Chains A and B, each alone.
Chain A
Amino acid sequence: MSLAAAMTLGLRPGIFYRGAKLCCINLLLTYQGGCAGNCAYCGLQRQRQGDFNQKSFIRVEWPTFPLDEIIARSADRTAAIDRICISMVTHGRAVDDTLAVAESLKPLEKFVSVLMAPTVIDKEAIGGLKDAGVEIGSVAIDAATEELFAKFRGQGVKGPHKWERYWQCLGEAVEVFGRGKAGCHLIVGLGENEAEMAGTIQRVVDLGANVHLFSFYPEEGSALAGRSPCDAGQFRRMQLASYLIQQGFTSADRISFDGSGRVTDFGVAGEEVAIVIESGIPFMTSGCPGKDKLVACTRPFGDGPPGDIRSYPFTPNMEDIAKIRLEMGDI
């Protein structure tokens, strides 16, 4: 499970910076042989040195615990937990194991999400997940363009993943779970420009899925370890664009871009944009919702260190908003 989830369940020591809370327990299937994928930015990359269960993922270690212990701890702390998310990896047993884990979680009576591995799952199996009580199915397309996807996840790294299959799988998730019950992870800063990312966000929204944005942060030991983290301004503009598109304030074709593809106008009146920015909500972690929370999956400091927050796991305060405005630059 994620370090943050382990801390939430009291299985690892530590307190989150600024009292952040996580209400979603993020589980990752763990195999001796690891993930068959070889994604250049991922800590679980096949070609990276080390045993699978010793590799870091999204900046931190993912400690391994028996499922029974996780379920018992979650039952003990039921009031603090709204949702449990199972992340598949690309492995031959992952579909069956995800189904088994989902079945085991039923007595907890929590919302369950699955981050699906499209390369090994088909529509019938997605239906099986729904039958097992899964409420939301997500797909990590991650790259905003087909070219970047092939370069970092497909042929470029001798990886098994296909752009078309990922989009098809997202469509299947919408069909099975319903509109608004499917999610799509996108990583900002893999080399796309802002116009390309806005177009991809629009495509996800048009499909009926929600967008969960991540800021690229180089994973130690991965092929992209030497690359710079996503520019803060670029990420802020994409967080805002994603929010405005998903709320129906604008659309990708109403946003204006300069010659390099950078946003120059969101296609929304300035005073309305100001209200949205001041709310801080676009800059909070985007993820699956909780029982009575906008987002349960707050992933505290998952896409940047606590000293340089990219996705805020809490509502940004006035100082945070001032920093966000500076990072965003002139629009």
Chain B
Amino acid sequence: MEKSEILSRVKEVVGQVLSMDVSEITDEANFIFDLGADSMQSVELVAGFEEEFDVELDQDKALEVQTINDAANFVAEYV
């Protein structure tokens, strides 16, 4: 799968979980600092990525991911 496709699907998941317009989400956006994700939403995001890409992510490492870009790279390791 192309990195650009992963990135765009990651943004869609983030948009859904955080109830945001995808256009507001930049590649460098930090989940907490820029997007305001709280701890519950962070867990929901990881579950959302697993469902979207049909993979099982390492939970601890997934929760350490800070930005949209990092999330796309992390997911790419599994797909």
Do A and B share a complex?
A: no
Residues of B within 8 A of A (CB): none
Residues of A within 8 A of B (CB): none
